[in-house]
A and B are shown apart, each in its own frame.
Chain A
């Protein structure tokens, strides 16, 4: 070391073009400069092109009147509302289909994933065939099949298919009972929150007591009882129940009341669920198979039933393996919901393209759409990472 430095000193130090510290700085500055210049060049071209066509950059259009209808929206929206409200309606539609899709796909995915490991040969093969068939064909094709071949070929309103629990299916879409919030809903929610706090607090207290070797006085169970009691009491005691279900009623030409889900929404939801279920099933199967055989054998040796082995030994450990890839499946589902445009469901992307065409300002609109997807992805990742941390703690 010293020898080298002495030698350097004799030669007047390392020349800067061979000094690794100098080179690193030069390379980084060059890269940042290159990226900045490239971006500046593109933006310069863009401003020139936009100026030629008279397009603008600002977000001022958000307050202007949209003037186009949106087929369905969770918030009241008409053509005379602003672009901002149209965008919000599209965003809420995307969130709605994504959240419902994620819940359904998770439940079905776990079922199919467990079925792939069933001791029953036929169940195992059927689940595997489903997974292979779905994973090896494009989602867009599946959406087309569900939309054009299944849903649009359904009978008209006259010959509606009636499913159990007041669910009706016809050419116009899916009609399900819609929750109606009553006047006592707020009170009920408050009671529910108190009950939940009691249940969690009771369980925690019992655990802490037992950890110190003292009796837990069944505080956990008592807390749970309080929760159930408050929930039932809050539902039954007020004159009006906190939530009623408005049932769809068949009129002469269409259904009224209830929650009407359009054909586009039904197709998109079904497509996303069918597709993502296959992927989640593989994630779940991989997670379960990652558990060492000895764990199951030890559980059996302790005399745990098959159900308890699964519930207490296999699943908590498998969750550790499952959660990270599950997160990316959730993100994929949310991103894939942008295929709504193929079945005419007015989601974020579809509303965005309409806005881009109408306002003549494609750049800010697409930037807004992409930024929103970015935010959705980041929030989902964040939530799943928090959950992941909780699950990972189980390790020791």
Chain B
């Protein structure tokens, strides 16, 4: 019986083992770690140095108002506040009533308002705007807390959401000869226009896309032909060409007395474009539906409308939520293309600001601000989709 001396076991837990396993597991891995760490450190130092010493952030703070709402007249800005307040309250109340999935929306909305409040706090007219945004963020949570007590029926909330977009548009544009003077859509701009374009695009393209998808799967060849032709045609051409059509050529297609303003034309272009992509996503969901569901519905004597409304769509739409959120993220990013046809959404107004002589050379500052806002919005949407996906159990059933 000889005494055996074993080497002490190699560490498998603790920070050192983690480093060894994840960063220095071999010579190639160590080289990669060193290289990437080096590059990242250099980038971080350069960017940090630029942001803290060189960057002229005053270009952004000075033009905060333009970036956020474009040339919307200052004495009418209360309408925007009122609308934001309504939407905040609605979001809060819905989160309380519908539970976890809408709660993500409430969290994102208040967080985004807090971010904007932080960004505006340093601008000349900022403190007041910041306080307003903070109050709005608070309203969301007041809604969440008050929701269970006031117990608004779900149906009322749904109707309120459906009405939210028309109400917003009417509130923003106003009527002649009322306390709400007309504010032409040529004055809308900045983040306001970006969000409006995206919101209208999403709300209009979704039902349109669902109908196109159903049409493409219809048993009637004529319906199938029309829907397929539309979807394939739209998907084959770039969005800029469609926006160009909507901007330059649409007026020719309408009778002389009908005038549609540029913003509405752009909204229509975006919605019609996006609908084709929604349709393809939804078609995926429809195809994934077991045919037994359809047969069962027919056996129960449901007609086509009932089958689609109560059996097919609820299941098909749930399975395509992640894909659709991805699509809506691209739609939000694609709203920047309207700056090519001359509308001043966030990026467009940024370019306009950069054309002013006193903001010469401050390009990166404006682009960084714009990019940050897009990043936060898109990232929040993708995270919300990820949670929603898990909450609805997509792919686990």
Contacts and interface: CB of A to CB of B under 8 A. Distances in A.
Interface of A: 24, 27-29, 31-32, 35, 42, 45-46, 48-50, 118-123, 126, 132-133, 135-141, 144-145, 148-149, 331, 335-336, 338-339, 341-342, 349, 353, 356, 362-363, 366, 369-370, 373-374, 377-378
A362 B237 contact: no
B57 interface: no
B32 A120 contact: yes
Interface stretch (B9-17, B91-99, B330-338): B330-338
B238 A336 contact: yes
A137 B33 contact: no
Nearest to A334: B238
Given A42-B253, A122-B23, A145-B367, A133 B375 contact: yes
Contacts of A122: 22-23, 32-33, 36-37
Given A122-B32, A136-B374, A137-B378, A45 B238 contact: no
Given A145-B364, A145-B371, 20 more contacts: A29-B222, A35-B226, A119-B29, A120-B22, A120-B29, A120-B32, A120-B33, A122-B32, A126-B36, A137-B333, A137-B375, A140-B336, A141-B336, A144-B351, A145-B367, A335-B238, A338-B240, A366-B249, A370-B241, A377-B236
B14 to A, nearest CB: 15
B226 A373 contact: no
Contacts of B241: 338, 349, 366, 369-370, 373
Nearest to B22: A121
B367 A120 contact: no
B226 A120 contact: no
B237 A335 contact: yes
B23 A362 contact: no
Interface residues of B, number: 51
A331 B235 CA distance: 9
A24 B224 CA distance: 13
A118 B351 CA distance: 40
B272 interface: no
A45 B254 contact: yes
Interface in B324-358: 329, 333-334, 336-337, 339-340, 347, 351
B25 A120 contact: yes
Nearest to B253: A42
B281 to A, nearest CB: 12
B333 A341 contact: no
Interface string B231-263: 001011111110011001101111110000000
A393 B144 CA distance: 55
B40 A126 contact: yes
Interface string B299-324: 00000000000000000000000000
Contacts of A138: 333-334, 336, 347, 374
A132 B241 CA distance: 28
A45 B253 contact: yes
Contacts of B220: 24, 27-28
Contacts of A29: 222
Contacts of A342: 340
Interface string B42-72: 0000000000000000000000000000000
Nearest to A148: B363
Nearest to B236: A377
Interface in B351-397: 351, 363-364, 367, 370-371, 374-375, 378-379, 382
A31 B222 contact: yes
Contact of B248 (A45, A50, A362): A362
A350 to B, nearest CB: 10
Contacts of A331: 236
Nearest to B248: A362
Contacts of A377: 235-237
B252 A49 contact: yes
26 contacts: A31-B223, A35-B226, A42-B253, A45-B254, A119-B22, A120-B23, A121-B22, A122-B22, A122-B33, A123-B32, A123-B36, A126-B36, A126-B40, A132-B379, A133-B375, A136-B378, A136-B379, A136-B382, A137-B371, A137-B378, A138-B334, A140-B347, A149-B363, A339-B337, A349-B244, A377-B237
Contacts of B379: 132, 136
B333, B351, B382 pick with most chain A CB within 10 angstroms = B333
A329 B364 CA distance: 28
B282 to A, nearest CB: 16
A383 B347 CA distance: 36
A139 B340 contact: no
